[in-house]
Amino acid sequence: MPADRRSSFALLAVAAAVALSAGCTSTIGGKRGQKSFRQKVTDSIKSALNSSYHDPDADDKLAQADELFAAQDYKTAQAVFGDLADNTYNPSQMTEKARFLEAECCRLQNKLPPAVATYNRYLQDHPGGVYSKQTAERMFAIAEVWLQDTLPDVEGAQAGKFWASLPKLPNPFDRTRPTLDAEGELVKTFENIAVGAPTAPCAEKAMFWAGYLHYARGRYEDADHFFSTLAEMYKDSPLRQEAVKYAIDAKNRVIGGAYYDGQKSNEALQLVHNLEASEPQYRSDPAKQEWVTKQKLIIRGGQAERDFEDAEYYRRKGRYGAAFFYYEMVKRRYPGTKFSDLADERIAEVKRVQAQRAADKAAGKVDPLEAFQERMDRVFGNTPKEEGEPSAAPARTPPQDRPAPVVPAGGR
């Protein structure tokens, strides 16, 4: 670049910097109300960094888009509404209305997957907005259409029918269905309704269907989340009883066995007690009483197995005092179970071992390793539990019976 051109650019840059630093407020062309040079530079930088800009014609564009929408020119109206909604410089009321009407234009053109995506974007950008309940209802109505295609495959897979597992070929010419992963899009739609519009009338049904589809596909942890949330948030819902039953069953299936965390067992037992206390028919109806009793036996059996395995761990490590304590705890907490009988046998065995060790010690037959361990215990204290439980753990077989599927009103 020639030297004179470089110097001219440098002078312009210095002049701009001086004007900005000095807070120049002089007007261009001498017209009152016109933007200052500093404001124009700021607006130019903002427009270069993002797509939002100050649009003095936004109201006129919205009016034009409303006319196009009323004339059923949804394709053209969708483009105008989309531009207005994307421009965050516009008033929030305008962007909210524009986003909702953009989704409406997609729906009225039978472009259902883009419509659901735009509705969901509305719920994310405007939580608790004016159109949030309408948005949730529109999304749920579309999801019900998709559910008619997905539900037979889900129930067929549960029944073990081979055709339910066959992959579905995508149809790129069908604008009313997702091209790929139709079931995944359906589940995501129900989840977005439940999370984005929890006060909508259809939110509890969407939450139930999200939990049921997760449950049917063996994703028990996700199913437990939605069923438990429904039971907690919608205490007057007609779906609450079935949601609690599914939540209890999902918690029992997600436990995995005695070597895993017992928090889910405790939660399942608490749900059983709550259901028994809040629903009188579970105390009077023999069939429901039998179901409650069975769930209690399943949960308590898992808890007894877990405590028994803790005692077994200490016995294998030679910590007979801790083992004796846990065996006694199993006997007192779970009387009449097979683990209580096993604990009796182990207690007798531990007593024999302790008596033999005491006799050997009196006779001067002391194992060097045991003597060293006793000295370490006296120095450092005997910890109540050690790290490093054995990794080889046979998983507890989950219950095989499933709650009968209950379809919310209008779900099929």
* 278-304: pLDDT as tens digits: 778 777 788 888 888 888 877 888 888
Residue 138, C-beta contacts closer than 8 angstroms, at least 6 positions apart = 103, 104, 107, 115, 119
Q: Which of 210-219, 355-364, 393-402 has the lowest mean pLDDT?
A: 393-402
Q: Which of 168-172, 184-188, 244-248, 367-371 has the lowest mean pLDDT?
A: 367-371
Q: In a 3-state reduction of DSSP, which class is residue 98?
A: helix
| Stronger pLDDT, 399 or 142, i.e. the higher one | 142
Mean pLDDT of 179-199: 92
> Mean pLDDT over all residues of the chain?
79
Q: What fold is seen in the domain 58-235?
A: 1.25.40
CA dist 63 and 195 (Å) reads 32
> At residue 6, does pLDDT exceed 50?
no
pLDDT tens digit string along 80-107? 999 999 998 899 999 999 999 999 999 9
Q: In a 3-state reduction of DSSP, which class is residue 36?
A: strand
> At residue 141, does pLDDT exceed 50?
yes
Q: 27: which strand partners?
A: 36
DSSP 242-274: HHHHHHHHHHHHHS-STTS-SHHHHHHHHHHHH
Q: Which of 97-101, 204-208, 217-221, 296-300 has the lowest mean pLDDT?
A: 296-300
Count Cβ atoms within 10 A of the Cβ of residue 300 and give its class: 0-12 exposed, 13-18 middle, 19 or more buried: middle
Q: Which of 182, 162, 187, 156 is nearest to 170 (CA)?
A: 182
Residue 372, C-beta contacts closer than 8 angstroms, at least 6 positions apart = none
Count Cβ atoms within 10 A of the Cβ of residue 19 and give its class: 0-12 exposed, 13-18 middle, 19 or more buried: middle
> At residue 52, does pLDDT exceed 80?
no
Domain boundaries, the chain: 58-235, 306-380
pLDDT tens digit string along 64-77? 999 999 999 999 99
Residue 354 pLDDT level (bands cut at 50, 70, 90): confident
So what's the pLDDT on residue 371?
66
Phi, psi at 174, each rounded to 5°: -90, 105
Question: For the range 333-342, what are the long-range contacts, defined as Cβ-Cβ under 8 Å and sequence gap of 24 or more?
Answer: 333/303, 333/304, 333/307, 334/300, 334/303, 334/304, 334/307, 337/300, 337/301, 337/304, 339/301, 339/304, 339/305, 339/307, 339/308, 340/304, 342/308
Q: Which of 84-88, 339-343, 346-350, 399-403 has the lowest mean pLDDT?
A: 399-403
CA dist 4 and 18 (Å) reads 21
So what's the pLDDT on residue 115?
96
CA dist 37 and 30 (Å) reads 12
| Stronger pLDDT, 40 or 134, i.e. the higher one | 134
Mean pLDDT of 236-244: 91
CA dist 70 and 64 (Å) reads 10
**DSSP category for residue 90:** S
pLDDT cut 90: percent of the chain above it: 33
Give me the amino acid identity at 251. K
Stated pTM of the model = 0.67
Give, rounded to a whole angstrom, the gap between the first and last alpha carbons of the chain.
73
Residue 5 pLDDT level (bands cut at 50, 70, 90): very low
Mean pLDDT of 43-61: 71
